[in-house]
Amino acid sequence: MFIHGTNDPYVNYKSSIKVSKKCKNSKLVLIKNADHGFHDENSMNLALKETINFIIN
């Protein structure tokens, strides 16, 4: 699973798009306007929700 913020100042989210396409059975979640560490509450909650759903399913 890849979770990436579209406003990451360190790693461009397009890198996750490329790498996730090469990983079998991977899932990519892009969080609009999130930074590298998901420092705002909304981004963090979305990342946690997606992670939990990925593990459960």
| Tens-place pLDDT, residues 3-57 | 999 999 999 999 999 999 999 999 999 999 999 999 999 999 999 999 999 999 8
pTM of the model: 0.88
What Cα–Cα distance (Å) separates residue 25 from each residue in 2, 8, 17, 38, 53?
Answer: 11, 24, 14, 24, 15
- The predicted structure's pLDDT at residue 7: 97
Which residue blocks in the chain are alpha helix, DSSP H? 13-22, 41-56
Of the chain, the end-to-end C-alpha distance in Å amounts to 12
